[in-house]
Amino acid sequence: MVCQKNKRIAVIGAGISGIAAANVLKKNGYEVVVFEESTEIGGVWAVAYPQVRLQNISSQYYLSDFPWPFTPDLHPTPTQILEYLRAAVNNFQIDVRLKHKVLALEEQEDSWRVRFQNKDGCHEDTFEYVVVATGQYTQRKHRPITRTCRRNWHTLALRLSRSLAGIALT
Ligand SMILES: Cc1cc2nc3c(=O)[nH]c(=O)nc-3n(C[C@H](O)[C@H](O)[C@H](O)COP(=O)(O)OP(=O)(O)OC[C@H]3O[C@@H](n4cnc5c(N)ncnc54)[C@H](O)[C@@H]3O)c2cc1C
């Protein structure tokens, strides 16, 4: 990835995908802000019923540069996953803004205008790039995106094994 210091990236969603994306982008020199509409990070794990377990085993489910800081169950509980994600956000000093719901994205010539709502009302901010990490179960809630000419990908498209290798964020 080409490092572009001083560029700002909005990540929508503080589930594990948004946190992982924010971590990598921040490490590459971008200023990253994560917008999360909920009162808690963790996405599906923040709303899962207590008896549910990760289907993977814990050694298969962590950020590659942040091992579990405690020993979780073989199949971690939602509580353990949330504890892990909170520790990761804290460790990497990721700027997560809870109770910030993104309402709309509007494409500008060289940037995106992000309209969001928090307890103080509706606001707008501008970012060079936006990562939509709203989870595959919530994608239809995230409308509208005003699109003109730039290419856009939803993470769902990655399941179709279309390779993004060699595509630079320019
Ligand atoms: C019971 C269960 C077991 C599972 N087991 C496994 C497993 O073993 N292995 C595995 O890999 N996966 C498993 N999964 C799948 C799970 O969905 C993923 O592991 C992962 O948690 C998905 O993360 P995500 O960040 O993509 O999406 P989510 O966790 O859905 O996070 C999306 C976030 O975006 C936020 N958001 C949405 N819209 C907006 C908006 N407009 N503005 C601001 N924020 C917004 C939501 O509030 C949410 O916090 C399991 C899921 C469940 C429910």
pTM: 0.85
Q: Which of 77, 138, 140, 143 to mutate to test the pocket of ligand 1 (most atoms within 8 A of CB)?
A: 138
Burial of 7 (0-12, 13-18, 19+ CB in 10 A): middle
pLDDT tens for 147-162 read: 554 556 554 444 443 4
Domains of the chain, each with CATH number or no CATH: 8-143 (3.50.50.60)
- Ligand 1 centroid to 131 CA: how many Å? 15
Q: Please determine, for residue 46, whether its predicted confidence score (pLDDT) is greater than 60.
A: yes
Residue found by looking up tokens 């353990």 in the block = 80
In the sheet that holds 145-146, the strands lie side by side as: 121-127, 112-118, 101-107, 145-146
CA of 109 to the centre of ligand 1 (A): 31
Measured CA to CA, the distance from residue 81 to residue 36 in angstroms comes to 17
pLDDT digits (tens, 9 = 90+) for 116-152: 999 999 999 999 999 999 998 655 454 445 555 455 6
Q: Which pLDDT does position 139 carry in this prediction?
A: 52
Instruction: Give the mean pLDDT of 60-78.
Output: 97
